[in-house]
Amino acid sequence: MLIPQEIICKKRDGGELTEEEIREFVRGIMTRLVTEAQIAAMSMAVFFRGMSRDEVVTLTQAMRDSGSVLSWDLAGPVYDKHSTGGVGDVVSLMLGPILAAAGGYVPMLSGTGLGHTGGTLDKMDSIPGYNIRPDKELFQKVVREVGVAIIGQTGDFAPADKVIYAVRDTSATVESIPLITASILSKKLAVGSDYLVMDVKVGSGAFMPTYERSRELACLIAEVACSAGLRTRALLTDMNRSLAPSAGNALEVRDAIRYLTDGDSRSRDLQQLHLVTKALCAELLALSGLVPSVSQGEARVEELLAGGQAAEKFSRMVRALGGPADLTERPDKYFPAAEIVRPVYADRSDPAQPSFVQTIDIKGLGMAVVALGGGRTRTGDPIDFRVGLSHLAVPGDEVDSEAETAKPLALIHANSEADFCEAARRVRQAYRLGPEKVSQPVAVYEVF
């Protein structure tokens, strides 16, 4: 018989839980024999005491088994991708169509943004008519016929994770690496993926506070996923600048469309975004054997972008899930501008000296988007899809104070003067300037 407090006590005192104890606890969550207070207590015990790899594997599988588990019979490999979040991280919108164009299938469950990080699901929700929560039958149909579907988590998949995460969010245990790992992987296993690539961010806009903690998370995810039967690569990528030149839902979708349809943009302002997207895709293509090496995977990505096949997959996915058939051709028709679109300039004490962007507080930029109404401070807050930042300056850019030919720190897209002024204050605070030109951050640090 399940006695939750005995299991909690064992973990609190540093003991290793058995497979039976972990599965019983998760079953108790689903049958409501385990209370929210007991979930919070267990989460805090894990936060301080940690879990062994075997414990995390069992927890992941138990959470997966709490709901539906899909099994695919498809002509190619089933891929998935997860990012620990950041600012301007629109990678999923290009990665899914690229992999589908390469012959894979991508059933991707995405999430909403919280805090300074943007959510893939909010970006998709900014597309008029797009159904972010289709029923399971439509989801499977789109994956089979198009090759990619980006949707939100439904109650069918890993419902225990949804309950546990809500409690973690209110009990200061979100940062627990074992619980993060189980949360991510339970959903990936539930949708029947064969191969996963993890994009673990490093830097001032990353979820984890240090390089070492990000590395620890990447290693554990790769180990646990492989132990659970999901072949995985984990990449440490940079989040010391906005990945895309825009931050804000509709603005980032525009960047994704431009990335897929305009080759020149991938070598200019979307270059950092391209390096990360290409690296993630190439790792999956090589891991699954669709190409013999990562370098040939990168070449294949370039071919699919140049030939327009990836853009076509994106258009078909949008159309199949209720969005406009001509979104990629006429984005202006579907993404109205904010009431105010105006630059914000640097504050400079000595205008005679050159001034280069040295470092950026990326979390600060993300919170500027939230202050505009483009993000949430609480789950369930409404989002204004029009607002955000674009033309963001990056490390090494020379900026100037307000003048007719000056380069701004960003363009602010706001719907009131008060919102513009608050966002401008936050943007200026986020940038540190200096007289020396610095190099761009590295795009990819390590691969596990």
Active site residue 136: no
Active site residue 80: yes
Tell which residue, 277, 187, 172, has the closest CA to residue 228: 187
- Rounded Cα–Cα distance for residues 448 and 445 (Å): 10
Q: Retrieve residue 432's tokens.
A: 């540190």
Residues 206 and 219 in one domain: yes
Residues 283 and 415 in one domain: no
- Active-site pick, 64, 116, 188, 233: 188
- Rounded Cα–Cα distance for residues 40 and 379 (Å): 18
Residues 342 and 323 in one domain: no
Active site residue 361: no
Q: What is the pLDDT of residue 381?
A: 77
Q: Cα 255–256–261 angle (5° rounding)?
A: 95
Q: What is the pLDDT of residue 352?
A: 64
Q: Among 332, 362, 385, give the residue marking a domain's end.
A: 332
Tell which residue, 397, 179, 369, has the closest CA to residue 272: 397
375 close to 118: Cβ distance less than 8 angstroms: yes
- Active-site pick, 83, 84, 204, 288: 83
Q: Retrieve residue 78's tokens.
A: 């089933």
Residues 291 and 360 in one domain: no
Active site residue 65: no
Neighbours of 386 (CB within 10 A): 22
User: What is the reported pTM?
Assistant: 0.93
The total number of structural domains in the chain stands at 3
- Mean pLDDT taken over the chain: 94
Active site residue 183: yes
Residues 190 and 291 in one domain: yes
Question: pLDDT tier at 371 (50, 70, 90 boundaries)?
Answer: very high
- Active-site pick, 81, 215, 254, 426: 81
What's the CATH number where 16 sits? 1.20.970.10
pLDDT tens readout for residues 241-276: 999 999 999 999 999 999 999 999 999 999 999 999
pLDDT tens readout for residues 174-233: 889 999 999 999 999 999 999 999 999 999 999 888 999 999 999 999 999 999 999 999
- Active-site pick, 183, 193, 242, 246: 183
Residues 195 and 166 in one domain: yes
Residue 357 belongs to a domain: yes
Active site residue 168: yes
Helix (H) / strand (E) element for 188: namely helix 177-190
- Active-site pick, 43, 92, 120, 176: 120
Active site residue 144: no
Helix (H) / strand (E) element for 342: namely strand 340-344
> Could you tell me which residues come within 8 angstroms of residue 94 by beta carbon, excluding any fewer than 6 positions away?
256, 259, 260, 277, 310, 314
The range of the structural domain enclosing residue 383 comes to 337-434
Residues 327 and 343 in one domain: no
Active site residue 171: no
320 close to 146: Cβ distance less than 8 angstroms: yes
- Active-site pick, 116, 123, 187, 201: 187
Residues 144 and 274 in one domain: yes
- Active-site pick, 123, 168, 258, 313: 168
- Rounded Cα–Cα distance for residues 39 and 167 (Å): 7
- Rounded Cα–Cα distance for residues 91 and 114 (Å): 18
Active site residue 187: yes
168 close to 45: Cβ distance less than 8 angstroms: no
- Rounded Cα–Cα distance for residues 201 and 84 (Å): 6
pLDDT tens readout for residues 293-318: 999 999 999 999 999 999 999 999 99
Q: At what angle do helices 211-227 and 53-64 cross, to 10 degrees?
A: 60
What's the CATH number where 223 sits? 3.40.1030.10
State percent of the chain over pLDDT 90.
86
Helix (H) / strand (E) element for 25: namely helix 19-31
pLDDT tens readout for residues 25-50: 999 999 999 999 999 999 999 999 99
**pLDDT exceeds cutoff 70 at 101:** yes
**pLDDT exceeds cutoff 80 at 353:** no
- Active-site pick, 11, 43, 66, 80: 80
Q: Retrieve residue 75's tokens.
A: 């002509």
- Rounded Cα–Cα distance for residues 313 and 94 (Å): 10
